[in-house]
Amino acid sequence: MRIITFLIGICFFANVCLADESSIQDEINQLKSRIEALEKKASQQDGYIKSQEGTIKLQADKISQYETKLSQLDEKLHRETGLPEQIAKGLDISAGATMVVQGTNNVNNASDDANRNISRTDGSYSTDITIGKEFEQITGRAFLHLENGQGAGLEDNLTLYSNVNRDADDDVNVRVTEAWYEQGLFNDKAAITFGKLDPTVYFDDNAVANDETTQFLGRIFRNSPTIEFSDNTMGIRLAYMPKEWVEFNYGVFDGNNDWEKITDNLVSMGQVTFKTNFFNLPGNYRILGWRNNVYHTKWLDDTQTKENAYGFGLSFDQKANDVVTLFTRYGWQNPEVYNPEITATGDLNYSLEQSWSAGFQIEGKPWGRENDVVAFAVGQIFPSDDYKEATGRLGKTEGHLEAYYKIYCNKHLSVSPDFQYIWNPFGKDIADDTDGVFVGGMRTQVDF
């Protein structure tokens, strides 16, 4: 009985085990099926992803291109926005106006007999606008000077070898008087300047007698009357400063200022300047020579009409102490010829042989006006002996005195009473008028 029961239990256990094994196998098969389905789905998804990689890459390339274009556009916008600021950097703009009123006791116009030996008061004004631009990286500089004015002042009423108002500018049209570019060379030891130039900026210059808007008004004290300068014309200037104490300048200019047949009408100038510092007081000592091959006529042989003019000059200025500066000039030119285009008021031809001038400037510090200036100058002009022989004129030596006091009102305004006296005007060769000429006036300078 026990054996039968044991056998029955074994059979039951076997059936149970067989049943469990069948169930497990079913679950395994189900898991295999699910895994196969998942693998199939994953494979499908991998294929889809691979199929989209090209599209994604194409879109990424487009996005990259858009970013590049946006970056370029942003850079361009920033560059264009900053362009005016870049142009303005280093730009120096200034403007000024000069007004002159002068009266005289003796009008001596050689062509106006009816109005001679009378008193007269006239005025003039001039305006200046200058624009300069420094190019620091290349040590270059550009400069533009615009100018206009109105009124000849007394200059069209006085017949003189050297007239009384260098600032008179009877041309209301705004015009370019200077336009040039300058390039520094050899670490700024040399420079070349070319364009429309004013030769008096570079030659026969002077620290206290070279600016009619703030210094002497009389032409004899602004530049030597024996030098035939071209009037703001096309030219080229070379400068070389091998040492701090010496400077060489050479310039070539169009003598007729018409920009035509330039090589036939050249004015050439050379100058050496010695910059001294005696007793710690600065000074400038200039020696210059010039030649003008614009056609000149020989006084004693009027068939000789293609002659050249030439000459030399000196221009010195020296500080005497902290407030006093001395100056002197001397000039000589070929006395045998004259330029038919150069005439005194009244269309009178003449030519000069020598001239000199000297004077001083005192700054107002001793009397508590350190920005004020008082100045005095005297000079003489000697006409050519050949001119006197050819014309039969007396040709006395014309003398000039000038004194002014510049009153500093503020940094924008100064007022200068100015007094001049000329003896032997035009060499005493104005008929029935050999008296001296006294000129009193007032100059006002406005700076913006």
Render pLDDT for 85-95 as a digit per residue (tens, 0 to 9): 455 567 899 99
Check whether residue 303 and residue 379 sit in a common domain. Answer: yes
CA quadruple 224, 225, 228, 231: dihedral, nearest 10: 90
Max CA-CA distance within the chain? 184
- DSSP one-letter code for 87: H
Question: Rounded distance, CA 318 to CA 333, Å?
Answer: 25
Q: Are residues 51 and 103 in the same domain?
A: no
In this structure, what token pair is assigned to residue 359? Answer: 């004077």
Q: Is the pLDDT of residue 26 over 80?
A: no
202 and 269 inside one domain: yes
Same domain, 306 and 439: yes
Q: What is the DSSP secondary structure assignment for residue 394, as one 8-state letter?
A: -
Tell me how far apart the alpha carbons of residues 320 and 110 are, in angstroms, rounded to a whole number. 42
Using alpha carbons only, give the angle 288, 289, 295 rounded to the nearest 5 degrees: 145
Identify whether residues 81 and 116 lie together within a single domain.
no
Partnered with residue 275 across adjacent β-strands are 284
Q: What is the CATH classification number for the domain harbouring 231? A: 2.40.160.10
User: pTM of this prediction?
Assistant: 0.79
Q: Domain boundary at 31, 56, 85, which?
A: 85
Last residue of a domain, one of 85, 111, 142: 85
Residues 5 and 106 in one domain: no
Contacts of 234 (CB under 8 A, 6+ apart): 195, 196, 197, 253, 254, 257, 259, 262
Confidence of residue 172 (pLDDT cuts 50, 70, 90): very high
Residue 101 has pLDDT above 80, yes or no: yes
Q: Which backbone phi and psi does 9 adopt, to 5 degrees?
A: -60, -40
12 and 104 in a common domain: no
Whether residue 112 is predicted with pLDDT greater than 60 in this model: the reply is yes
The per-residue pLDDT for 434 is 83
Q: How far apart are CA 410 and CA 445, in angstroms?
A: 11
Cα three-residue angle 369-208-166, rounded to 5 degrees: 110
Structural domain includes residue 131: no
Q: How confident is residue 8, by pLDDT bands cut at 50, 70 and 90?
A: very low
- Across residues 98-110, what is the average pLDDT? 94
Reported as type and span, the H/E element at residue 390 is: helix 385-391
Domain assignment present for residue 140? The answer is no
CB 293 within 8 A of CB 261: no
Whose CA is closest to 199, among 174, 178, 173?
A: 178
Round the average pLDDT of the chain to a whole number and report it.
88
356/314 same-domain check: yes
pLDDT single digits (tens) 141-157: 999 999 999 999 999 99
Cα separation, 441 vs 122, in Å, equals 9
The CA-CA-CA angle for residues 348, 108, 334, to 5°, reads: 35
Q: Are strands 281-298 and 91-104 parallel, antiparallel or unpaired?
A: unpaired
Same domain, 80 and 102: no
Q: What is the gyration radius of the CA atoms in the chain, in angstroms?
A: 45
Does residue 179 lie in a domain region? Answer: no
Q: Containing H/E element for 31? A: helix 2-88
Residue 150 lies in a domain: no
Q: Where are the alpha helices (DSSP H) in 97-233?
A: 219-222
**Is residue 391 one of the residues assigned to a domain?**
yes
pLDDT of residue 66: 55
Measure the CA–CA gap between 269 and 309, rounded to whole angstroms.
12
Are residue 69 and residue 207 in the same domain, yes or no?
no
User: Is residue 166 assigned to a domain?
Assistant: no
Give the integer Cα–Cα distance in Å for 139 and 187: 9
Shared domain check, 329 and 231: yes
Residue with the larger pLDDT of the pair 223 and 70? 223
Take residue 328 and report the two structure tokens written for it. Answer: 């002197």
Query: What is the structure's pLDDT at 76?
Result: 52
Identify the domain boundary among 64, 85, 106.
85
- C-alpha span between 224 and 333 (Å, rounded): 11
Rounded Cα gap, residues 251 and 191, in angstroms: 12
List Cα–Cα distances, 57 to 43, 49, 53, in angstroms. Answer: 21, 12, 6
Q: Are residues 206 and 61 in the same domain?
A: no
Sorted by sequence, the CB contacts under 8 Å of residue 418 that are 6+ apart come out as 102, 217, 402, 403, 404, 439, 440, 441, 442, 443
- Token reading at 363: 């700054």
Please give the angle made by the CA atoms of 168, 174 and 179, to the nearest 5 degrees.
95
Q: Are 307 and 301 in contact (CB under 8 A)?
A: no
Residue 251 lies in a domain: yes
Domain of 45, in residue numbers: 1-85
Answer yes or no: is 11 within a domain.
yes
Number of domains in the chain: 2
